[in-house]
Homo-oligomer: A and B are copies of this chain.
Amino acid sequence: MPACLVQGASRGIGLQFCRHLLRGVPNSTVIATCRNPGGATELQTLQAEFPSTLHIVPLDVLDEGSIQRAASEVQQHHGGGVDLLINCAGILHPSGRGETSLRDVSSQGLSTTFSTNAVGPLLVAKYFSPLLQKGTGAFGQHGSNKRTHAAVMANLSAKVGSTTDNGLGGWYSYRMSKCALNMATKNLSIELGRGKNKVICVSLHPGTVDTDLSRPYHKNVPSDKLLSTERSVQCLMDFVNGLTMQHTGKFFTWEGKEMPF
């Protein structure tokens, strides 16, 4: 019974990960976290379809106490380990628009974006890593005779979080926060890569996906470059299913291409 935790599951890519896992992975249990379960209409609809295998747990990435309580709840009610954790919650900027220039940069915008996109996922890793270390290794590939890892943690990053690849500038808050998240992934891969119950940790670029986050920019994206959430999640899960310990600490696109930091 693979157990998956999707953090930031109320809409967009996170919601689609829940659908994909519930419909496509036999016997899987999905723990879907979001800030406000009461307002997560689509997630509730999905729960009506999967009443015994989808568990919705409140978790606000901006509130460390709430992350800790969510981990306790999962530990108590769910029992066993978690085989896959996907950190999805993210914002472009509190205004909904990335900064075009220095003029638009503000202390508040930078801090909120950093807290949501980088601090949040790292705190989720802090409180849920003991559950990941109890995973059964249901995702990713193992050596022929032995289990090489206990679980997989995937942090949804973005190509624009690559400093090496940055040729256009702008989007200060988003770029800096996703860049910092990639550093967190690398650090996590080292800390959780020790001992018997290793956790594969990767940063993933989902492509430019048809979600609320990127909506203000869709008119600039050629239609064949704008991915549906279904396509993006299918590709990301195909990639996750092929992961080995060789991939840990690295940054990949939805097409499986390694990105430089």
How many chain A residues touch B (CB < 8 A): the figure is 44
- Cα A176 to Cα B185 in complex, Å, equals 10
Q: Is the CB of A172 within 8 A of B122?
A: yes
Q: Is the CB of B166 within 8 A of A190?
A: yes
Identify whether the interface residues of A are mostly helix, strand, loop, or mixed.
helix
Which of B103, B118, B164, B186 meets A260, CB within 8 Å? B164
- Chain A 158-192 residues near chain B, CB threshold 8 A: 161-164, 166-170, 172, 175-177, 179-180, 182-184, 186-191
- Cα A123 to Cα B168 in complex, Å, equals 20
Assuming the contacts A175-B187, A183-B166, asked whether A119 and B111 have C-beta atoms less than 8 A apart, the reply is: yes
- Cα A115 to Cα B114 in complex, Å, equals 10
- Cα A162 to Cα B169 in complex, Å, equals 19
Cβ-closest chain B residue relative to A61:
B107
Which of B110, B114, B115, B260 meets A261, CB within 8 Å? B260
